[in-house]
Structure 1
Amino acid sequence: MEASSHDGFREFVAMRSTALLRLAVLLTGGDRHAAEDLLQIALMKAYGRWARIEQHEAYVRQVMYRQQVNRWRLRRHRAETTVPVLPESGTGADTGADSELRIALWAALGRLSKRQRAVVVLRYFEDLPEAEVAALLGCPVGTVRSTAHRSLAKLRTLVPELGPEGPAGRVQPLTCTPKEAQR
């Protein structure tokens, strides 16, 4: 790899690794070690092709999605691993209510099935269109729609604050609530 490409890769990793790790943690269901492995694999694959890649972050995210989907397919029979402590977010200060909601949302995401969690993360956290989520997960668009509907309903049941009326009766947008996890 040329020195300029190497420097560009190092800058990319320095600037984007926190956000990419946060995505990896969501994709792995809160398993920090698996998330670090997932990100490391994606970055290794990108490093070898760095000079030929036009959109670096899109490429790394795509590798992460596909790698995690392959892990899910290979480990269908294994039990899901949950962690009792949430990873550090690296963002600024939170209010107490935001922190409590985020903790409840993390716990609720951990109780979703792997497919449900993947659909919620890709559809709402990554804000991908249904067709792209379907292509990434290798299923029909209708399956993505029904899974998203069931997943949001389950999240609302597990975390009532995510419903149409949140704390103190204020109306909250339903489709944006999983994005609360990225704050």
Structure 2
Amino acid sequence: MKYFSLQTLNKYGAFLALGLLVLLPITLVLLRAFMPEGSFEGLAPLAVLGEPYYREVLWNSLLLGGGVVIGASLLAAPLAFLMARTDLKRHRWLDVLIMVPFMTPPYIGSMGWILAMQPNGYIEQLLPFMSSVTPLFFTYYGMVLVMSLHLFPFIYIIMRNTLSNIGGRLEEAGSVHGGKFFYRM
């Protein structure tokens, strides 16, 4: 008879907890969506997406998501390049500073932005000439900006690590084959 080690028991316990705490609730929600009255109704729950209101909500959500990806990438790419290819990489405290939006809970961040940018909010009280800019915060572009500022550390970390791992040999091979690249500064 084989005895289980403590590590093996911990591993199985973790999988069991994962199944009970994550997979079971998700399964129950999906079952409830496709079987609201206890009987399977096919793809009837997906028919809701055919209604004009929900189609518009879905389209706006996809537009917002695309805008945030583009905005966060535009913020992260130059910063990742500078931190991977210049002498700034020795200043590790900048990485910690960049990760602050990542470590801030979204609820706290959104409340801070709302309190700062609402009519007669903190920005207008401190800088009255900004009263013409603060209404723009509550538009599509304002939401894209705020969400991009909150999510760009994800893309930054991935891009910086990728650029740091590209060795000199790959850059030389690229230049031999006609590619243009930036030399290390």
TM tier, smaller: under 0.3
Length-normalised TM-score, structure 1: 0.24
The structure showing larger relative contact order (alpha-carbon pairs under 8 Å, at least 6 residues apart) is 2
Question: TM-score if structure 2 supplies the norm length?
Answer: 0.24
Larger radius of gyration: 2
**Which has more helix, going by share of residues?**
2
